[in-house]
């Protein structure tokens, strides 16, 4: 018999990376929050690679932390090895990545939810979601308990209608053999929500003692370690090594000889897989000209002997998996503890949402993470944080938090999803941002912490630390502008060594730091007045000095674009009646319902000519309104 168990301000369905951030943000902003998970032991699970960060993803984690989220802190506490990627390139693409202890991370996140005031964690499968007469939402569990909520956040990950594929074998399941959310998809479709099928996969786990590490390339962590969280003072040390190996002609032959047994190529899998993280069989077919493909052998934790084979996800049968893994250097005699698999699941078309991640047709209903068509833990967590914040702000009667593309990678991610949609699982990359020089991972606190403070997620202590750091950056900039170094044997010796021109008169320290060949480290012997020792402060100053011209040009572009963002479009606009719009533009604009001219300009199929028509249309509306007010 159904019974009303409890009422919440915000209910979060799912306790993966999106659900965790959504639930914590909502509760920390004062809303009574319920977080529902099919299995309590799967909270914060990392069913694919046990790592946090990576190219562009590291930017997201630092933004999450700067806004007041949890992922960065948890990653710092549970990391096994930490590396800053792309150091050989410019600072815009430097990205932090940490191999983490999978079980420690899950335990830590579960305990954080349990300790959070105003949050209740429940093990329950939500089987239906209904709109009540008073505008709230009614959630029903498989055990027939019912919960009312003013707002609901769908963060179902790959559980929603989940189905596992390994060769000819397929069965209903969530990741790691968990129960799937079997009944909720029907309820969502009954509401009128548009769902589709996507697919992702994970590689095998192999026994550490069965791997021959001799001759494999070692990957060591960084020293010193850069933490994800701006609250982490002592990140600790690297605890493990990772290893690199490669596929070869024998690997390729085994896969191609059995490609017909792959459910991807036999037509059994209907879902669309990730373009930028393909399975090994997909790589072999799509990039047939490549003689080999790189793979990484990484530990899953300190207290387990499982090793993860990054870069080799597959849905081929288990016997074929064993055969191709055994062709690879170091894995010739490996024991596979968990075979690779593909998982197919339901997700929503994100074009149904606005930039708060609320569904336009379903007030109070939000989506986050893989449910929105994205892939990756970091993309999920960023969306979960935004959805949780906006659900809470709406309930409190406050203005929503909308992050634009020029503010953050998080804003870029959400704008891409709700404006352009996605035809395959969306993955964040640095190339997706047109403002990546100003959206660096090193300045995420400068960009996002004031926003987090305004919302209410940044504590007094953290705000004091942030403002003190900003003051030290300003003081150091003032110092290098006013410090003049006299020509000396020692200074000119450094300049000759670095292949840059010597000086014959006094020169400002800032002018030396502008030279690409020079930095704080090499100038330390002659820079005798420097007292600042915080590497993050010195990094900020040096980047601002070296890239000042480029940064200023990008900021000028941002201001131009924001003028278009300020031209808001009426919510009730009927695009079919606007003369001059092409048919495709009318269709796309009517579907996406952009909030501004700026957002409209980013919709695929809307041309510059269509934007000109919209600007004229807005001007005409404004003139009519002004004329009406004057008549009155």
- 617 pLDDT tier (thresholds 50, 70, 90): confident
pLDDT of amino acid 628:
67
Q: Coil, helix or strand for 37?
A: strand
44 plus 160 within the same structural domain: yes
CATH of the domain at 614: 1.10.150.570
Kind of pairing between the strands at 145-154 and 3-13: parallel
Q: Coil, helix or strand for 175?
A: helix
521 plus 625 within the same structural domain: no
337 plus 473 within the same structural domain: no
CB 590 within 8 A of CB 575: yes
423 plus 373 within the same structural domain: yes
The answer to the question of residue 381 being in a domain is: yes
The answer to the question of residue 377 being in a domain is: yes
Q: Which of 169-173, 342-346, 589-593 has the lowest mean pLDDT?
A: 589-593
184 plus 231 within the same structural domain: no
CA separation for the pair 390, 403 (Å, rounded): 11
pLDDT of amino acid 398:
97
Q: Which domain holds residue 590?
A: 566-631
- If one counts the domains in the chain, the total is 4
CA separation for the pair 374, 157 (Å, rounded): 9
How many alpha carbons lie under 13 Å from residue 9 in its C-beta half-sphere?
A: 23
C-alpha 555: how far from chain center? 24
26 plus 66 within the same structural domain: yes
Can you list the alpha helix ranges (DSSP code H) found in 258-348? 263-266, 280-286, 318-325
The whole-number average pLDDT for the span 306-325 is 96
pLDDT of amino acid 621:
82
389 plus 505 within the same structural domain: no
Question: How is residue 75 annotated by DSSP?
Answer: H
The answer to the question of residue 353 being in a domain is: yes
* Residue 360 pLDDT greater than 60, yes or no: yes
pTM: 0.95
For the chain, the average pLDDT equals 94
Can you list the alpha helix ranges (DSSP code H) found in 126-248? 184-191
The answer to the question of residue 93 being in a domain is: yes
The whole-number average pLDDT for the span 480-497 is 95
* Residue 101 pLDDT greater than 90, yes or no: yes
The answer to the question of residue 558 being in a domain is: no
The domain boundary, picked from 311, 343, 375, lies at: 343
The whole-number average pLDDT for the span 109-118 is 98
The answer to the question of residue 560 being in a domain is: no
209 plus 175 within the same structural domain: no
- 472 pLDDT tier (thresholds 50, 70, 90): very high
The whole-number average pLDDT for the span 118-126 is 98
pLDDT of amino acid 266:
76
59 plus 135 within the same structural domain: yes
The domain boundary, picked from 454, 482, 504, lies at: 454
446 plus 495 within the same structural domain: no
* Residue 301 pLDDT greater than 90, yes or no: yes
The domain boundary, picked from 454, 475, 504, lies at: 454
164 plus 110 within the same structural domain: yes
How confident is the model over 160-179, as pLDDT tens digits?
Answer: 999 999 999 999 999 999 99
* Residue 586 pLDDT greater than 70, yes or no: yes
The whole-number average pLDDT for the span 333-360 is 96
CA separation for the pair 199, 413 (Å, rounded): 20
How confident is the model over 25-38, as pLDDT tens digits?
Answer: 999 999 999 999 99
What is the chain's length? 632
Could you tell me which of 297, 97, 284 has the C-alpha nearest to residue 215? 297
- 394 pLDDT tier (thresholds 50, 70, 90): very high
pLDDT of amino acid 632:
57
How confident is the model over 230-269, as pLDDT tens digits?
Answer: 999 999 999 999 999 999 999 999 999 999 999 887 778 7
182 plus 53 within the same structural domain: yes
The whole-number average pLDDT for the span 307-324 is 96
Could you tell me which of 392, 536, 367 has the C-alpha nearest to residue 457? 392
CB 14 within 8 A of CB 37: yes
Contacts of 356 (CB under 8 A, 6+ apart): 366, 386, 387, 390, 394, 400, 401, 402
* Residue 302 pLDDT greater than 70, yes or no: yes
pLDDT of amino acid 19:
98
C-alpha 280: how far from chain center? 23
Q: Which residues pair with 87 in a beta bridge?
A: none
pLDDT of amino acid 631:
61
CA separation for the pair 33, 17 (Å, rounded): 16
């Amino acid at each position: 018999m159904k019974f009303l168990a409890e009422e919440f301000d915000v209910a979060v369905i799912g306790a993966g990376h999106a659900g965790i951030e959504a639930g914590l943000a909502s509760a920390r902003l004062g809303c009574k929050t319920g977080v529902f998970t099919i299995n309590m032991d799967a909270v914060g699970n990392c069913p694919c690679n046990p790592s946090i960060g990576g190219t562009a993803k590291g930017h997201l984690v630092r933004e999450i932390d700067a806004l007041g989220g949890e992922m960065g802190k948890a990653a710092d506490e549970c990391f096994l090895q930490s590396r800053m990627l792309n150091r050989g390139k410019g600072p815009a693409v430097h990205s932090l990545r940490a191999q983490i202890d999978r079980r420690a991370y899950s335990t830590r996140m579960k305990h954080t939810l349990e300790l959070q005031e105003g949050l209740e964690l429940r093990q329950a499968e939500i089987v239906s979601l209904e709109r009540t007469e008073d505008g709230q939402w009614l959630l029903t569990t498989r055990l027939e308990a019912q919960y009312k909520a003013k707002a609901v956040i769908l963060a179902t990950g790959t559980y929603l209608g989940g189905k596992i594929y390994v060769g000819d074998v397929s069965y209903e399941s969530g990741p790691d053999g968990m129960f799937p959310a079997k009944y909720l998809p029907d309820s969502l479709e009954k509401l009128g929500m548009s769902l589709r099928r996507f697919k992702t996969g994970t590689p095998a786990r192999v026994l550490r003692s069965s791997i021959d590490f001799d001759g494999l390339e070692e990957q060591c962590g960084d020293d010193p370690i850069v933490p994800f969280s701006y609250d982490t003072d002592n990140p600790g040390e690297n605890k493990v090594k990772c290893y690199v190996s490669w596929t070869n002609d024998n690997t390729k032959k085994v896969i191609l000889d059995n490609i017909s047994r792959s459910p991807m190529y036999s037509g059994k899998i209907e879902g669309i897989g990730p373009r930028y993280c393909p399975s090994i069989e997909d790589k072999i077919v799509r990039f047939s000209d490549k003689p080999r493909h790189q793979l990484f052998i990484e530990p899953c934790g300190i207290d387990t002997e499982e090793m993860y084979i990054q870069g080799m996800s597959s849905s081929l049968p288990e016997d074929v998996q064993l055969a191709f893994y055994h062709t690879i250097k170091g894995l010739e005699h490996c024991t596979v503890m968990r075979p690779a698999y593909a998982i197919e699941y339901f997700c929503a078309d994100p074009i149904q949402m606005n930039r708060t991640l609320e569904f336009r047709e379903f007030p109070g209903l939000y989506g986050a993470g893989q449910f929105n068509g994205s892939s990756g833990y970091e993309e999920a967590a960023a969306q979960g944080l935004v959805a949780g914040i906006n659900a809470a702000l709406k309930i409190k009667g406050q203005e929503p938090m909308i992050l634009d593309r020029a503010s953050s990678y998080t804003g870029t991610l959400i704008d891409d999803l709700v404006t352009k949609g996605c035809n395959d699982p969306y993955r964040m990359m640095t190339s997706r941002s047109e403002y990546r020089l100003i959206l660096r991972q090193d300045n995420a606190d400068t960009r996002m912490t004031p926003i987090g403070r305004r919302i209410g997620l940044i504590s007094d202590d953290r705000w004091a630390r942030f403002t003190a750091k900003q003051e030290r950056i300003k003081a150091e900039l003032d110092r290098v502008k006013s410090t003049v170094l006299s020509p000396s044997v020692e200074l000119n010796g450094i300049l000759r060594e670095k292949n840059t021109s010597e000086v014959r008169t006094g020169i400002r320290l800032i002018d030396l730091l502008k030279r690409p060949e020079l930095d704080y480290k090499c100038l330390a012997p002659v820079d005798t007045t420097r007292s600042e020792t915080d590497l993050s402060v010195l990094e900020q100053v040096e980047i601002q000095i070296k890239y000042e011209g480029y940064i200023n040009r990008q900021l000028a572009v941002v201001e131009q674009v924001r003028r278009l963002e300020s031209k808001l479009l009426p919510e009730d606009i009927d695009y079919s009646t606007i003369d001059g719009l092409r048919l495709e533009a009318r269709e796309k604009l009517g579907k996406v319902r952009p909030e501004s001219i700026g957002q409209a300009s980013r919709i695929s199929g809307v041309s510059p000519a269509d934007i000109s028509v919209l600007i004229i249309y807005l001007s005409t509306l404004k003139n009519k309104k002004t004329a009406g007010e004057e008549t009155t």
